[in-house]
Amino acid sequence: MNKTTFKDYKLAIKEQYLYAKEKDVSGILENPTPAQLREFCRFLYEKGISRNDEEVFRLFFEAKEGEILKKAIDRITIDKFKTIISFLKAEKDTDIRIRVELAAIMVDFKERPYRVFSKSEQNEFVKEPIHVALPVITQPEGQQPEKEISKSKGFTYWLGKNKFITIFLLIASLLGGFSLAKFVFPEKQCMQWQNDHYEVVDCTDSEKNPVENTIVPLDEKLLNFRKVEVYDTTTFFNKQGKPLYWYCRVKGKKEPDYFNSLGNGCHPETEKKLNPITQYIINRYVLVK
Does pLDDT of 67 surpass 90? no
Residue 202's pLDDT band (cuts 50, 70, 90): confident
Does pLDDT of 221 surpass 60? yes
Query: Between 120 and 141, where is the model more confident?
Result: 120
For residue 216, the surrounding DSSP H or E stretch is strand 215-217
What pLDDT is recorded for position 182? 52
Give the dihedral sign, CA 268/272/273/278.
negative
Sequence spans of domains, the chain: 6-117, 183-224, 227-289
What pLDDT is recorded for position 260? 94
Query: Between 178 and 198, where is the model more confident?
Result: 198
Does pLDDT of 270 surpass 50? yes
Full DSSP string of 82-146: HHHHHHHTTSS----HHHHHHHHHHTT-SS-SHHHHTT-SS-TTSPPPP--PPPPPPPPTT--HH
Instruction: Tell me how far apart the terminal alpha carbons of the chain are, to the nearest angstrom.
Output: 55
Residue 59's pLDDT band (cuts 50, 70, 90): very high
What pLDDT is recorded for position 201? 86
Residue 57's pLDDT band (cuts 50, 70, 90): very high
Residue type present at position 28:
I
What pLDDT is recorded for position 136? 44
* Mean pLDDT computed over 204-229: 79
What pLDDT is recorded for position 33? 92
Q: Please give the Cα distance from 284 to 232 (Å, whole number).
A: 11
What pLDDT is recorded for position 118? 86
* Mean pLDDT computed over 150-165: 54
Query: Between 141 and 42, where is the model more confident?
Result: 42
pTM over 0.85: no
In this structure, of 109-113, 148-152, 185-189, 266-270, the range with the lowest mean pLDDT score is: 148-152
In this structure, of 99-103, 180-184, 218-222, the range with the lowest mean pLDDT score is: 180-184
Mean pLDDT of the chain: 80
